[in-house]
Each structure stands twice: as C-alpha cells, then as structure tokens.
Chains A and B, each alone.
Chain A
C-alpha cells in the first residue's frame, strides 16, 4: 500500500502527467468534433450520413481514440525511473523489485482508466455539441454511452498495464515509446495484410476488439464480427502484458541499477 502511495505521489507531482492528459483530451475531443464534419462534407456517401443512427454511434465511438496515451503513460511511469535516475531511490526504498512493479501496475491501471474516462467524457460532450450544428441528426443508441464508459475504463486500465510492462522491458524511454508506435501503426498493419486471420489476436486487433463493443457499422465497413469479443480481447491484451512483465522480471528488472 505504501508503495502505491509513493507511486501516486510521483504521478501527481510530475508535470508530464498533466501534459499527457491534455494531449489525450485534445486527441479525443478532436476526433468527435472532426468526424461529423468529415461525414457531412463527403459528397460520395461512402461514409454514410448522420441521419443514420449507426453513424452517430460511430461519431461517439471515437471518444475512446486516445487509448494510445494510456500505453504511453505506463511507459513513462516505468522507464521514467531510469531516465531520471530515480530508480536508485525507488529500489533503495524497496529492494524487492517485483513489489515496485506491482505498485506501478496498480497505479497505472487506475490512472489510465481515469485518463480515458476524462478524455472520453469531454469528447462525448464536444461531440454532442458539434452534432447540434447539423440538421436531421439521428439520435444515438441508448446503449452507446454505457458501452463507451465501460470501454474507456477497460481500455485505459488494460493498456496502462501493457505500457508498464513495455517500459519495464525496455528501459530507454524513447526507444520504448517509438517501438510501441512503430509496432502498432507500421509493423502490425503489414503483418495483418499477410496473415488476415491472425489479426484479431495481435495487439491492435485486440485493442480494436476491446473498443468495438457494439459499435457495429456496416456503413464504414467495420464489422466487429471479425474481432474477438471485448472481454476476450481485454484478456488477450492482459496476456501480452503478463508475458512482457514476466520477461521483464527475469531480465531487465534484475539488471544492475546505475
């Protein structure tokens, strides 16, 4: 418990926490504000129309698009110790390194969920406001907001844990963040092209599966039927996190601290 308190203090005292939260809010808000505009501007009709309930649901679904910041938060919380040299103080206070890792996992799960709730909440509000500028907008499904709330908490917590796991494996903060982004947005799409069926088991596939919930939209060609169910997806992601953490515990977490 005391280690959790120490980790919470680190988070609350660090400026980077607030910077990251602002970035997360910005991206989430931007996505719900821009999507309706893109849909309405589109003459070809490929994107469908806001008169369509599924499209309106789709707009709100974008509220969780800041999930990447939960991963980055986890990476910062773990690898920041090595970047700032605070690892020495941290491990002198708690030489059993696994305990420190557990405290970080707990705190990041909480903070990641909070990040996503705040970002998605504000994003829904601005999305709602943006939609009032358009005419004949369909009303969203009743379940959409509940699903969003569940998806934000789940994605924030789970991806935060994954971030800590990555950060414990790769001590260099910049390399950890860049490799994550490269994997998610460059390598995995390529792997997906080559092995279509394996896609849903890969991290991005699982992230999509976890976020999809019931936002099925044939209009934009996304069918959640191709993905694992949200619960299974979350478990798959937790599995990745667990494997990373286990590997880190027997490798990088054992290495000497400078």
Chain B
C-alpha cells in the first residue's frame, strides 16, 4: 500500500510554479528519497503534504487521508522541516514537552527520544545555543516523539558533519528496519545513494523519474542518472 501519495499536486506562489502536476507514491516500510536541485520544489511538496501550505491544484495524501484529517497526527506522522519550529528561548527539553503536551504524549517519552538522538547532555540548554547538528537532532527527536509509523524529513543531513551524516544514515536504516516508512528529501546525491531504497527525482517542480534505486541508476551512480535526467532542464 502507498503510505504517501501526491496526486497531480500543483503549487504556485504568485507566478512561480513551485510544484507542477506532481504525481508520485511512496511505499510503506521503505526509505524513499525525494531528490532534486535547490528550488526544485521538494520543501513545497512536503509542506503541502503536511497541511502547512494549501495546494493550488491537486492534492497530497498521507495514510490515505489529508493530513488535517488525521487524528492526533504526531502519533502517526513525524516530520522535520527546513524551518525547524523550535523556540530558541526554550531548552530542547522544554520544546519537546510543549509538543508532548499537545499530542497527549507522556513526558517520560521526551527523555527517551532525547536519549535516542544523543542529546541528553544538552537537554537543558536553550535551543538557540545549539549547533546546526544539535538542532537537526532535536528536530529528529521531535519527529520521533509520538513513535509514528511514517517519517517525513526535509534535508535532515543539512549542516551535519561526516560523522553526523554517517550517524543519521545508520539511524534511518534502524528506523526502517523497525518497519517505519521514511520520506527524506535531499540534494546531496552521493549521500542518498547509500541511504535510500526508492527514489523520486523532481526538477522545476516536475517529476523526472520514480522507481527503485536500482532501476534509476542502472550501472552508474545516482549522480550520473540525475545529471542525465535533469540535462536540458536549463533555467
């Protein structure tokens, strides 16, 4: 079954068509990479999927419904977006406790997820003092708070050093092995090749290709396939 579906999704900002007729589906229990260059429309698609932005046309569904129709969404979907949504004046732990209260999740779970992302030591420091990597971890902790079956991560590797990226890759693999469905966006192709099972490639808001990693890359690398697909996509 498809955990996530984009159906003819379109989103315009004024005259800019950020997403155009995007139709794609994400299979349950796999890690799917949503790949494309800067400005391709990755974040916009995900915002539409999560009910934060209203599609201009078409729709996006998650677990068969619109995000807004989900009951207590944090317990079903976890998300990390590029704007992280944390209050800098609050500690990492306080930020998570606010989320926990909103989703009726026991406070004990806050300590659990902080441990899960190796952030216990900084739990009581203000979030504005966090390094980029720590902020990403805090976002991940927030996404995992409700122990959701689906994770949506927008550029989670952004700002991570090589050790952080390796950690993230292992982390995502562990989560996928637990049966979670993961949709992860990125423009860092080399990284993605060793992380994801399925690929969706978009450029200028349009779908370029969708399939398993093997189907897409054939004998070459993801980068080769990507450049071939996006060639001629001059701006």
Contact = CB atoms under 8 A, between A and B. Distances in A.
Interface of A: 2-3, 5-6, 8-10, 13-16, 84-96, 254, 256-258
B89 A6 contact: no
Contacts of A93: 73-74, 99, 102-103
B68 A95 contact: yes
B73 A92 contact: yes
Contact of B88 (A84, A92, A96): A84
A257 B101 contact: no
Given A10-B98, A89-B99, A15 B54 contact: no
B20 to A, nearest CB: 18
B166 interface: no
B9 interface: no
A254 B101 CA distance: 24
A228 B196 CA distance: 67
Interface in B70-120: 70, 73-74, 79, 81, 83-91, 94-95, 97-99, 101-104
B101 A95 contact: no
Given A16-B89, A92-B85, A257-B53, 7 more contacts: A5-B102, A14-B87, A14-B89, A89-B99, A92-B74, A256-B47, A257-B52
Contact of A95 (B67, B86, B90, B99): B67
Contacts of B52: 88, 91-92, 256-257
B185 to A, nearest CB: 15
B50 interface: yes
Contacts of B94: 9, 13
Shortest 8 CB-CB contacts between residues of A and residues of B? A88-B85, A89-B85, A6-B102, A93-B102, A6-B101, A256-B53, A5-B101, A95-B68
B142 interface: yes
B81 A88 contact: yes
Contacts of A84: 87-89
Contacts of B58: none
Nearest to A94: B102
Contacts of A258: 83
Contacts of B98: 6, 9-10, 13, 89
Interface residues of B, number: 32
B179 interface: no
23 contacts: A3-B102, A5-B101, A9-B98, A10-B87, A13-B87, A84-B88, A85-B86, A86-B85, A86-B86, A87-B85, A88-B83, A88-B84, A88-B85, A89-B98, A89-B99, A91-B51, A91-B52, A92-B74, A95-B51, A96-B68, A256-B52, A257-B47, A257-B53
A15 B89 contact: yes
Nearest to A3: B102
A86 B102 CA distance: 13
Contacts of A16: 89
Contacts of B47: 256-257
B77 to A, nearest CB: 8
Contacts of B67: 95
A2 B103 contact: yes
A258 B104 CA distance: 25
Q: Which of B53, B86, B98, B99 has the most CB of A within 10 A?
A: B98
A2 B102 CA distance: 5
B53 A86 contact: no
A90 B70 contact: no
Contacts of B85: 85-90, 92
Contacts of A254: 54
Contact of A9 (B70, B84, B86, B97): B97
